[in-house]
């Protein structure tokens, strides 16, 4: 019946839009089920509660076919890790590779990516690839949580080029030993890796079921058609923009090792159905851990391009087919081997989005929101539990979204490159020797405007045992900018409260808490959109 050009009086071409919708839903359901398995079987609160993980399906050439609505900073960079694995290893049936090296599509070291090749019967080469990425609460290094203020990559944790984690379904002992002996919490790491492996196994089972039901040829046809459809949709969205060139620049406060701001510049050129993003003029590499890499730039552009299109547009590699990207080597966004990168994934990625949206606001000011909080407020804690077992913990703290031409910005929400959730108080207190003494909106922190920016949060934790902590945050000097006459959001601020005295805390660095000490993080509000006087 599949070979018959007529089905119920319709040609195959007539049915293509319906088929595209069906297979897009099937592929997305597959990766979402992978994500559910990963989230529900992991051990660490960062994955279970915050869902700091992503899953995706790739074709035989490593092109992204489908991704879930997970972490934008993961999803645009994971294809480069899949490519690195394909180039470095000849995966066999049952093999799973692991990688976190920033020069191999990684973002920062705590993000461990697993890649599984799927072979169909009789094939000598993979027909598909499945991958997931999860942020592990510790991968070694000189500070608990692997998010410290260091100046080279090897201080930040274990670096993994593409290596086999499983070979023919069996553990590759040297790889496991290399990773687990280098971390503070090996049992939790092993549990989270087991969840990632279970996710990949689930994806392979569902994929084989699709092949059995529809046939390999049908799936391959739908993969190609979905990528082509997305590419056409992006070209149409770019045609709706005026031709021209727009520039925008914004700054990170500093890299934690000095007071110098770090500037990111972009020149967006739109011509017909294509767009070029040129980051010439961006600052030189940072000494501290704010360096990003081209994989992160790709993620930010994929995310912003997707926001220009319909919400239900299939997310795949077709999103970037009409786009060119120019990242200067030897810059903050391509610093070279060995540079510290722990904050580039979480802080610099947010500022890249800010400059991209700022440039787009020059082209279509009535479609672009003001700046959101522009930071992930990364908090890592480590120490020992009452029974002597070590613990590590990591979370990002939400803030205010920028006001939009159509609506006010949301309060207390993770924005742009992070799509994670807020850690529930109960989960935090169950996992750590801390008490949450304050957790609520930071009223009045959103920028005023016709569409006000959302408010940030105040999160205050009291230590019940000695704790070592690190903080990587930004937007502490200048608040997120407003648009169309809207006011900037309030900058964030951080403090240690010790014996009733409040001590200001730098936005990037290490701190110690004794029992009874408190760490308070006040996150930025979003910028406002439009002059508030318009409503009077």
**pLDDT above 50 for 447:** yes
Number of DSSP helices (H) and strands (E) in the chain, helices first: 11, 22
DSSP labels, 398-419:
-BPPPPBTTBPPPSSB--TT--
**pLDDT above 60 for 457:** yes
Phi, psi (rounded to 5 degrees) for 515: -55, 130
Q: Which residues pair with 248 in a beta bridge?
A: 266
- Nearest-5° Cα angle at 195, 109 to 381: 45
According to the model, what pLDDT value does residue 271 have? 97
Taking only the tens place, the pLDDT of each residue in 388-409 is 999 999 999 999 999 999 999 9
SS3 letters for 78-96? HHHHHHHHHHHCCCCCCCE
According to the model, what pLDDT value does residue 75 have? 83
**pLDDT above 60 for 93:** yes
According to the model, what pLDDT value does residue 15 have? 56
Q: How far apart are CA 116 and CA 126, in angstroms?
A: 9
DSSP labels, 296-317:
HHHHHHHHHHHHTS-TTS--SG
According to the model, what pLDDT value does residue 319 have? 96
According to the model, what pLDDT value does residue 74 have? 86
Q: How far apart are CA 468 and CA 451, in angstroms?
A: 40
How far from the centroid of its chain's Cα atoms is residue 204's Cα?
24
For residue 39, which of 205, 209, 206, 191 has the smallest C-alpha distance? 191
173 CB-near residues (< 8 Å, 6+ apart) = none
According to the model, what pLDDT value does residue 460 have? 97
According to the model, what pLDDT value does residue 250 have? 98
Taking only the tens place, the pLDDT of each residue in 160-209 is 999 999 999 999 999 999 999 999 999 999 999 999 999 999 999 999 99
**pLDDT above 70 for 3:** no
Cβ distance 268 to 246 under 8 Å? yes
Cβ distance 159 to 223 under 8 Å? no
Q: How far apart are CA 88 and CA 84, in angstroms?
A: 6
**pLDDT above 50 for 10:** no
**pLDDT above 70 for 499:** yes
According to the model, what pLDDT value does residue 11 have? 41
Candidate ranges 4-8, 18-22, 453-457; pick with highest mean pLDDT: 453-457
In terms of C-beta density within 10 A (0-12 exposed, 13-18 middle, 19 or more buried), how is residue 217 classed?
A: exposed
According to the model, what pLDDT value does residue 379 have? 96
Q: Which residues pair with 129 in a beta bridge?
A: 58, 117
Q: How far apart are CA 159 and CA 155, in angstroms?
A: 10
Helix orientation angle between 294-307 and 349-363, rounded to the nearest 10 degrees: 40
According to the model, what pLDDT value does residue 1 have? 31
Q: How far apart are CA 227 and CA 64, in angstroms?
A: 8
Position with higher pLDDT, 195 vs 422: 195
- H/E run at residue 471: strand 467-472
**pLDDT above 80 for 141:** yes
According to the model, what pLDDT value does residue 392 have? 94
- Mean pLDDT, range 37-56, rounded to an integer: 94
Domain ranges in the chain are 6-230, 369-536
Q: How far apart are CA 283 and CA 262, in angstroms?
A: 6
Q: How far apart are CA 377 and CA 418, in angstroms?
A: 11
Lowest mean pLDDT of 13-22, 264-273, 378-387, 418-427, name the range: 13-22
**pLDDT above 80 for 6:** no
Q: Measuring CA to CA, how many Å separate 58 from each of 25, 154, 207, 357, 516?
A: 15, 31, 11, 28, 50
Cβ distance 179 to 110 under 8 Å? no
For residue 291, which of 135, 108, 154, 416 has the smallest C-alpha distance? 108
């Amino acid at each position: 019946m599949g070979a018959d050009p007529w089905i119920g009086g319709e040609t195959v071409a007539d049915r293509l839009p319906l088929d595209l919708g069906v297979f897009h839903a099937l592929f997305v359901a597959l990766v979402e089920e992978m994500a559910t398995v990963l989230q529900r079987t992991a051990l660490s609160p960062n994955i279970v509660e915050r869902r700091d993980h992503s899953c995706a399906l790739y074709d035989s050439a490593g092109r992204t076919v489908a991704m879930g609505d997970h972490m934008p900073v993961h999803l645009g960079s994971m294809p480069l890790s899949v490519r690195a694995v394909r180039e470095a290893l000849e995966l066999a049936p049952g093999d799973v590779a692991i990688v976190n090296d920033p020069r191999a599509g990684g973002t920062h070291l705590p993000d461990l990516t697993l890649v599984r090749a799927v072979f169909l019967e009789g094939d000598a080469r993979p027909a598909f690839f499945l991958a997931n990425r999860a942020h592990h609460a510790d991968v070694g290094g000189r500070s608990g949580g692997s998010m410290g203020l260091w100046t080279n990559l090897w201080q930040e944790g274990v670096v993994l080029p593409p290596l086999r984690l499983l070979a023919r379904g069996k553990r590759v002992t040297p790889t496991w030993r290399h990773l687990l002996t280098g971390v503070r919490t090996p049992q939790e790491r092993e549990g989270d890796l087991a969840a990632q492996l279970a996710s990949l196994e689930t994806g392979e089972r569902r994929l084989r079921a699709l092949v059995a039901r529809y046939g390999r040829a049908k799936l391959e046809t739908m993969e190609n058609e979905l990528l082509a459809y997305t590419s056409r949709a992006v070209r149409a969205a770019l045609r709706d923009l005026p031709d021209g060139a727009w520039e925008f620049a914004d700054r990170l406060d500093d890299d934690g090792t000095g007071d110098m701001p770090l500037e990111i510049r972009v020149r967006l050129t739109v011509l017909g159905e294509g767009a070029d993003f040129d980051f010439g003029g961006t600052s030189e590499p940072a000494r501290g851990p704010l360096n990003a890499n081209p994989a992160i730039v790709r993620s930010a552009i994929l995310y912003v391009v997707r926001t220009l299109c319909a919400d239900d547009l299939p997310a795949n590699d077709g999103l970037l087919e009409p786009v060119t990207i120019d990242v200067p080597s030897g810059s903050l966004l391509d610093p070279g081997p060995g540079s510290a990168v722990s904050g580039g994934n979480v802080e610099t990625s947010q500022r890249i989005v800010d400059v991209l949206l700022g440039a787009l606001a020059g082209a279509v000011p009535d479609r672009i929101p003001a700046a959101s909080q522009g930071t992930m407020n990364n908090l890592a804690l480590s120490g020992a539990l009452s029974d002597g077992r070590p613990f590590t913990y990591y979370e990002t703290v939400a803030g205010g979204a920028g006001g939009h031409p159509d609506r006010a910005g949301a309060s207390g929400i993770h924005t742009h490159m992070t799509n994670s959730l807020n850690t529930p108080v109960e989960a935090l207190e169950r996992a750590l020797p801390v008490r949450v003494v304050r957790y609520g909106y930071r009223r009045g922190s959103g920028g005023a405007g016709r569409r006000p920016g959302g408010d940030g949060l105040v999160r205050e934790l009291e230590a019940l045992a000695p704790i070592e902590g690190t903080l990587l945050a930004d937007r502490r000097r200048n608040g997120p900018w407003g648009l169309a006459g809207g006011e900037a959001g309030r900058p964030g601020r951080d403090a240690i409260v010790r014996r009733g005295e409040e001590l200001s805390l730098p936005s990037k660095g290490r701190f110690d808490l004794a029992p009874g000490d408190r760490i308070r993080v006040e996150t930025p509000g979003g910028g406002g959109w439009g002059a508030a006087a318009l409503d009077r």
